Amino acid sequence: MEEVPHDCPGADSAQAGRGASCQGCPNQRLCASGAGATPDPAIEEIKEKMKTVKHKILVLSGKGGVGKSTFSAHLAHGLAEDENTQVHQSGSGWSPVYVEDNLGVMSVGFLLSSPDDAVIWRGPKKNGMIKQFLRDVDWGEVDYLIVDTPPGTSDEHLSVVQYLTAAHIDGAVIITTPQ
């Protein structure tokens, strides 16, 4: 997993490569040279990777605890019941965990040494993880990719949309309670 310093100012910030927390980061010279201001090459790589994914659907809410993840999981299962949908595994990159023959899942939960571990990360580190989920997971031929997001309108949402700009998101479903 790519290591990003705790207080990384962000590769596209004015402080990139120049902040105190940049010392010792493997990307320091790259950031200081202004390379962060150029479009992230990962966006093109993700576009290529996503060519085998027909539909990308985000599930959002804004508020926490309204049932996004429950909905995403059920939606994915519901779509998987259509036997014409297929997922293949071609053996390079991270492999999703298959809960059905045609339903693969990727989550930070699979990468923790214990399910009780807390992921106490600031934004830049989360962005790195999301980039890897999109670029380095071998989704193979997929009809529907459902993306479950956390509450709020922050790093994770911006990153997902940013990294998928070239790959095209079909749309977003917004979940809420009536309150």
Partner 1 sequence: NLALALAANDSSKAIGLLDVDVYGPSVPKMMNLKGNPELSQSNLMRPLLNYGIACMSMGFLVEETAPVIWRGLMVMSAIEKLLRQVDWGQLDYLVVDMPPGTGDVQLSVSQNIPISGAVIVSTPQDVALMDAHKGAEMFRKVHVPVLGLVQNMSVFQCPKCKHKTHIFGADGARKLARALGLDVLGDVPLHLNIREASDTGQPIVFSQPESDEAKAYLRIAVEVVRRLPPHPE
Select 41 or 152, whichever has its Cβ closest to partner 1: 152
Min CB(142)–partner 1 separation in Å: 25
Residue 111, Cα to own-chain centre: how many angstroms? 14
Min CB(49)–partner 1 separation in Å: 24
Select 141 or 148, whichever has its Cβ closest to partner 1: 148
Tokens of 57: 């659907």
Q: What is the 3-state secondary structure (H, E, C) of 60-127?
A: ECCCCCCCHHHHHHHHHHHHHCCCCCCCCCCCCCECCEEEECCEEECCHHHHCCCCCCCCCCCHHHHH
Tell me if residue 30 falls in helix, strand or coil: helix
Select 92 or 114, whichever has its Cβ closest to partner 1: 114
Q: Tokens 């993700």 belong to which residue?
A: 46
Min CB(98)–partner 1 separation in Å: 21
Min CB(148)–partner 1 separation in Å: 12
Question: Could you list the residues that contact partner 1 (CB under 8 A)?
Answer: 9-10, 13, 62-65, 69, 115-124, 126, 150-155, 157-158, 179
Tell me if residue 27 falls in helix, strand or coil: coil
Select 128 or 140, whichever has its Cβ closest to partner 1: 128
